[in-house]
Structure 1
Amino acid sequence: MEAYANALLYAIPFFSILVIVEIAYGYFVKNQTHNVNDTVSSISSGLTSIIKDSLGLAVILISYPFLVENLALFNVSETWYAYLLAFIAIDFASYWNHRLSHKINFFWNQHVIHHSSEEFNLACALRQSISNILGYFPLLLIPAALIGIPFKIIAILSPIHLFAQFWYHTKHIGKLGFLEYIIVTPSQHRVHHAINPEYIDKNLAAVFCVWDRIFGTFQEELDEVPPVFGVLKPAATWNPILINFQHLWRLIKDAWRTNSYYDKLRIWFMPTGWRPKDVSKKYPVTIIENVYQFEKYNTETSISLQIWSIIQMIITIFLMLFLFYNFGNILETGGFPMILLYGAIVFIGIYSYTSLLDTYKYTIVFELVKLTLGLFAILFFKDWFGLNSYFYYGNMVMGMYFVASFLATIYFSFVERKFVTSKAITI
């Protein structure tokens, strides 16, 4: 976990800079693909996923070291071709993992967050799951295990493979000629994120588009069919934590409500979107029928609230960077429970300020919990997770932040009442 945290210490600023560059470029060419609420939601989603992964909050069905130890037919040394074979194996596994996520009800829940944005930009790439708590990916790496690819190589390449999928989430890059036949490009991935009937469940590859061409899931971006982004059952919230579990909650309710015991069991493994007949009739769910005429989710938020949400997001990024920079020291002094407490404070903070963008009237409850946990950490440990050793007034600054955040939430929740209604934008 500490090695992963160290990698993120560099990845987060890099991704943040690229998002800022894209926003600036969109501004100067008068083709902005970002809006404040959506981008704050996307980046905040990335932060929740990062902290979940750094905490290792998943149940691993079977580990890759176990597979390679028991299945390896060869002994592969750490050479350049071993890294090449490993990267191809990871990409092949990623294709099938992605395809499962699009085709099976239960697995769609862990991927829907990535498609939930109704915009398409680099920030949208950061919408990663916190609901993927069942770790089965090593099973898809059996080909690598059979070859005997060492775990060290897989561990090094896995984050690189994930980070390599960031750049093509943009509308500012057109088709790339011969590269369209080799790698996944922005044009191909725009198709993947689109909800047009022609594009649904297409272009599932991560790095090499050859898998889509081999297995029949490739679709070129058509000039006459402009991609429309989002999901057919819109998330209708800026809160990434809620989005992560919306589909799962619908499955739970359907499994509970159906009278068929067979349907209660099979709903989890049926194709994405399948519902028992008795439930779908009695409890209909709104689905977008015409992708060219629907209301994008938006909320009337004041400029001051938007600025405040950006400030909250930036502070959260710095809190994350401090966690990763000080990860080893926190573990050494307080153990894993302190890391969990830190993560809980960040999670609740994100839940709070993204709910504020939704004009959710009970946001103050979550902000109060964050204030309580934050002040508890300061008063009980006499230090904010070691911040005082780097900054003498660390405790005071953090205490002031928690109080200011609480007071600001009161203001935006109960004083600025003029933006409490939703506003729809037709595309």
Structure 2
Amino acid sequence: MNFSSLYNHASSGALPWLFGLLLIVLVAATLEGLVQTFVRHKAYDWKAYAASMADAIARRGIDALGLSIAAPILAWAYAHRINTLELNTPLAIFILFIGQEFLYYWYHRASHTINWFWATHSVHHSPNELTLASALRLGWTGKLTGTTLFFTPLIWIGFSPTAVLSVVAGNLLYQFWLHAPWMPKLGPLEWVFNTPTHHKVHHASNPEYLDRNYGGVLIIFDRLFGTFADEREDVTIRYGLTEPLKSHNPLRIALHGWMNMGKKIGQAHSWRDRVKAVFGPP
């Protein structure tokens, strides 16, 4: 099996249970909108819902093309791994989980602090209200920017690409319910786990809340590295980007971050400024 086919097998990886969970996710996101509209009689942005669904469908179509700049590197790392680690003990499972959480924290933090990654990740932050449907809005260009390269160390030390990418997928599925701002605080669990309360802060565009709460399943690395922020009673959360994106056009939503970066490159007066426009902070 060559490098590309190994990676593609890992990412598609015969995980039929994921498709069942994705169906549940779609049903739950739709039910939330229906309950908000017809039971609670509250405003719900169905255009934003449709844009998020269109983004998810287009992403699956683009992923089906098998394009990824990370594929050969991850497969090379596994072919030259320093060990082979099977998930046959609680310790191995724990190491994989904690390692993935640690690396996810740094991937997510980089996605907010490096333009190259923010161009894709900004799509997820573009909804101007937080709903379960907005969890599905992840952009089309993640595999083209090499985001999975952050998890290369786990593959190099011996975990299979299938195992690593499965845990990453599980992390993202866990985060679906975090996009329900109507959930209450969860008491002592808030100290260890990422919760809807913490994720509300992450999606806020208020200056007091920017670049906080990067965790996936856990919130402990935010507490360790100084990026944790709790919701404040004196600051009402404002969702969306610092410069709100009003469009519901899926193409505009998917590409606005890249267009903004292209504009910065065009306005740059030196190669140093051009490099900064790509790899500097948003």
Distance 1:89 1:108, change over 3 A: same
Q: Counterpart of 2:127?
A: 117
- In the TM superposition, residue 255 of structure 1 has moved relative to its aligned partner by 1.6
Give deviations 1:176-217, integer Å, cap 9, x for gaps.
Answer: 101101111000000000011110110011111001101111
- In the TM superposition, residue 139 of structure 1 has moved relative to its aligned partner by 3.6
1:203 and 1:218 in contact (8 A); partners too:
yes
Q: Counterpart of 1:13?
A: 23
Q: Counterpart of 2:86?
A: 77
Distance 1:26 1:240, change over 3 A: same
| Partner Cα distance (1:98, 1:187) in 2 | 18
Q: Could you tell me which amino acid in structure 1 is paired with residue 240 of structure 2? A: G
Residue ranges of structure 2 left out of the alignment (5+ in a row):
1-7
Match of 1:26 among 36, 44, 48: 36
Q: Give the TM-score normalised by structure 1.
A: 0.59
Alignment of 1:100-115 (within 5 A): 100-115=110-125
Q: Which has the larger radius of gyration?
A: 1
Distance 1:235 1:58, change over 3 A: farther
Q: Counterpart of 1:156?
A: 166
Q: Could you tell me which amino acid in structure 2 is paired with residue 268 of structure 1? A: V
| Partner Cα distance (2:124, 2:135) in 1 | 7
Give deviations 1:240-275, integer Å, cap 9, x for gaps.
Answer: 222221121122233223333331232211111xxx
RMSD, aligned α-carbons? 2.3
Q: Could you tell me which amino acid in structure 1 is paired with residue 118 of structure 2? A: W
Q: Counterpart of 2:273?
A: 263
Q: Please say if 1:246 is aligned against 2:256.
A: yes
- In the TM superposition, residue 5 of structure 1 has moved relative to its aligned partner by 8.3
Match of 1:201 among 203, 211, 214: 211
Q: Give the TM-score normalised by structure 2.
A: 0.86
1:63 and 1:138 in contact (8 A); partners too:
no
- The size of the alignment, in residue pairs, is 271
Q: Could you tell me which amino acid in structure 1 is paired with residue 87 of structure 2? A: E
- In the TM superposition, residue 156 of structure 1 has moved relative to its aligned partner by 3.0
2:55 and 2:254 in contact (8 A); partners too:
no
Distance 1:245 1:7, change over 3 A: farther
- In the TM superposition, residue 92 of structure 1 has moved relative to its aligned partner by 1.6
- In the TM superposition, residue 55 of structure 1 has moved relative to its aligned partner by 3.0
Distance 1:33 1:166, change over 3 A: farther
1:33 and 1:120 in contact (8 A); partners too:
no
Q: Please say if 1:177 is aligned against 2:187.
A: yes
Alignment of 1:127-138 (within 5 A): 127-138=137-148
1:4 and 1:54 in contact (8 A); partners too:
no
- In the TM superposition, residue 91 of structure 1 has moved relative to its aligned partner by 1.8
Give deviations 1:341-360, integer Å, cap 9, x for gaps.
Answer: xxxxxxxxxxxxxxxxxxxx
Match of 1:210 among 216, 220, 231: 220
Greater shift, 46-55 or 115-124, is seen at: 46-55
Give deviations 1:390-417, integer Å, cap 9, x for gaps.
Answer: xxxxxxxxxxxxxxxxxxxxxxxxxxxx
| Partner Cα distance (2:31, 2:233) in 1 | 27
Q: Could you tell me which amino acid in structure 2 is paired with residue 109 of structure 1? A: A
| Partner Cα distance (1:150, 1:14) in 2 | 27
Alignment of 1:318-357 (within 5 A): none
Q: Counterpart of 1:223?
A: 233
Q: Counterpart of 2:5?
A: none
Aligned-partner SS, 1:129: coil
2:101 and 2:218 in contact (8 A); partners too:
yes
- In the TM superposition, residue 162 of structure 1 has moved relative to its aligned partner by 1.7
Higher relative contact order (CA 8 A, sep 6+): 2
Q: Please say if 1:66 is aligned against 2:76.
A: yes
- In the TM superposition, residue 58 of structure 1 has moved relative to its aligned partner by 2.3
Distance 1:33 1:186, change over 3 A: farther
| Partner Cα distance (2:150, 2:272) in 1 | 29
- In the TM superposition, residue 134 of structure 1 has moved relative to its aligned partner by 3.1
- In the TM superposition, residue 104 of structure 1 has moved relative to its aligned partner by 1.1
